[in-house]
Amino acid sequence: MSILFKGLRLVNSEGLGESGDYVFDKGELTQSITSESSRFDQEIDASDWLCSAGWIDLRCGMGEPGHEYKESIESLADSLVASGFSAAVILPNTDPVIQSKGDVDFVLNRAKKYTPQLLIQGAVTRNTDGENLTEILDMHHQSGVSVFGEGVKPLANADRYMKILQYLQKFNGVLFDHAYDPLLAIFGHMHEGENSTMLGVKGIPNLAEDVAIQRNLEIIRYTGGRVHFQTINTAKGVDLIRKAKAEGLEVTADVSIYQLLFSDEDLMDFDPNLKVRPPFRGQNDRKALIEGLKDGTIDALVSNHQPEDLDSKFMEFDLANFGMIGLQTFLPGLVLLEKELGWPLLIEKITSKPKGILPHSLSPTWTIFDPKAEWIYNEKSNKSLSSNSPWYGKKLTGQVRYVIQQGQLIEVNV
């Protein structure tokens, strides 16, 4: 079946292309050499739409196995398609933890029948407790895992950090590092600052992240290896990584998209859906993150999708779990950032840049989206099994229309 998209504009890191006609036929999207409607099975007005390479999410939480009621593999796959993502790195923080060949194979076998490509971040210590190492080499050689980390937990043991980097260099593996010092962040619920003091809430200081990044960079200087710093959100952290890159260390970094859309000022009404880790910081940190995206210090934007059930969130702020779902709100977030950062840069941070970080081969994919479409994010449109989002029940702008994955043209309906 051949489908003509009239007036579609391609966007990549080089810029926005001219409006043109593109045809999907035999599993591929190509520019049309004719606009005669009779030659196509279907014609779609795409004059307000944009098209880019398929989006890649480097940080995505999941519940299955163990917490399927929060997010199953099936619901995650549906959410990824509806959000425009063709590939996602899945965190190991399930129950049991994804820490062996059997755990990896279970998820990958369950995911085979879905179109998004799920890539596993294998745990580096047993039960992500920071002590005994997992069978890293076995997970790589037997199941193809090349990305390792502790997911939502920090790898705070310096000795283990050093040994893991030495192991990963045997096969060019990458350590995904959620860097913060757990003792400096202990009992904290939001950014430490004027607003936490006014609210009487124990804060998490910038120091918790800054110290961890600085320590880990010193270990990298000693051992070598590749490290990807995830969800950085302090001005000093950005500067440390900028200097490390200039020095020639093999480090990259990402930031959660919602860190650019909220600050600690938004927590004044104690909305537990805004309780995330790392916490929303102040405006100076946000400005540093924006500058880091612009100058290339920060390589990627991630959803940091963390599904939580109602019982984990609908309670007092200091008792609620950390986390926010972030897949279907990702494009609306891009729309809010577009005037500040522009589509070419934003698309680069979710396509070519994350693709360059991953030591995996990815199939060619496309995401077609309408940045002007309005829709309501509610129970009817939500593909996730969780609803822990401050945008739930609100009108959003920006909607994915189609994704092309594994040679299939998939229409997104919300």
Same domain, 271 and 253: yes
Task: Tell me: pLDDT of 63 over 90.
Answer: yes
What is the C-alpha separation between 151 and 147, in angstroms, rounded?
11
Instruction: Give the mean pLDDT of 63-77.
Output: 98
Look over the chain and give the mean of its residue pLDDT values, rounded to a whole number: 96
Question: What crossing angle do the helices spanning 235-247 and 283-295 adopt, rounded to 10°?
Answer: 20
Q: Is residue 401 a part of any domain in this protein?
A: no
Confidence of residue 190 (pLDDT cuts 50, 70, 90): very high
Is there a domain that residue 173 lies in?
A: yes
- The confidence score (pLDDT) of residue 40 equals 84
Q: Is residue 326 part of a domain?
A: yes
State mean pLDDT over 339-361: 97
**Residues 143-186 pLDDT 10s:** 999 999 999 999 999 999 999 999 999 999 999 999 999 999 99
Same domain, 123 and 267: yes
- Does residue 396 fall inside a structural domain? no
CA angle 358, 151, 131 (to 5 degrees): 115
The pLDDT score that the predictor gives to residue 177 is 98
Mean pLDDT calculated for residue range 127-144: 97
pLDDT of residue 5: 95
| Tens of pLDDT, residues 220-252 | 999 999 999 999 999 999 999 999 999 999 999
| Judgement on whether residues 41 and 139 belong to the same structural domain of the protein | no
Q: Are residues 178 and 224 in the same domain?
A: yes
Domain span holding position 299? 54-362
Same structural domain for residues 27 and 140?
no
Whether 190 is covered by a domain: the verdict is yes
Mean per-residue pLDDT for 309-327? 96
Residues 64 and 106: their CA atoms lie apart, in Å, by 10
In a domain, 399, yes or no: no
61 and 37 together in one domain: no
Mean pLDDT for the stretch of residues 331-344 = 98
CATH of the domain at 109: 3.20.20.140
Tell me the average pLDDT across 344-357. Answer: 98
Residues 213, 107 within the same domain = yes
What confidence tier does 142 reach under pLDDT thresholds 50, 70, 90?
A: very high
Strands 147-149 and 117-123: parallel
Q: How confident is the model at residue 37 (pLDDT cuts 50, 70, 90)?
A: low
| Helix 101-111 vs helix 136-143: crossing angle, to nearest 10 | 40
To the nearest whole percent, how much of the chain has pLDDT over 70?
A: 99
pLDDT of 34 reads 67
**pLDDT for residue 202:** 97
Q: Answer for the pair 96, 128: CB distance below 8 angstroms, yes or no.
A: no
Whether residues 167 and 272 share a domain: the answer is yes
- Do 30 and 91 reside in the same domain of the chain? no
DSSP 39: G
Confidence of residue 38 (pLDDT cuts 50, 70, 90): low
Residue 398 lies in a domain: no
Q: State whether 111 and 181 are in the same domain.
A: yes
The answer to whether residues 134 and 23 belong to one domain is: no
362, 380, 403 — which closes off a domain? 362
Structure tokens at 208: 């918790």
247: which residues sit within 8 A by CB, 6+ positions away? none
Where a domain ends, among 362, 381, 404?
Answer: 362
- Is 36 a residue whose pLDDT tops 90? no
- pLDDT tens digits, one per residue of 360-376: 889 899 999 999 999 99
3-state SS, one letter per residue, for 283-318: HHHHHHHHHHHHHCCCCEEECCECCCCHHHHCCCCC
Note whether residue 8 is domain-resident. yes
- pLDDT higher than threshold 60 for residue 18: yes
Rounded CA-CA distance 12/351 in Å is 8
CA diameter of the chain: 68
pTM: 0.96
* Alpha-carbon span 122 to 103, nearest angstrom: 9
| AA identity, residue 311 | D
- pLDDT tens per residue, range 264-277: 999 999 999 999 99
Three-state DSSP class for residue 34: coil
Model pLDDT, residue 414: 76
- Residue 41: per-residue pLDDT: 85
The number of domains in the chain is 2
Q: For 335-397, give the DSSP string.
A: HHHHHHH-HHHHHHTTTHHHHHH-SS-----EEEEEEEEEEE-STTT--SS----TTTTSEEE
Share of the chain above pLDDT 90, in %: 95
Task: Check whether 35 has a pLDDT greater than 70.
Answer: no
The predicted-structure confidence for 80-111, as pLDDT tens digits, reads as follows 999 999 999 999 999 999 999 999 999 999 99
- Answer yes or no: do 304 and 328 share one domain: yes
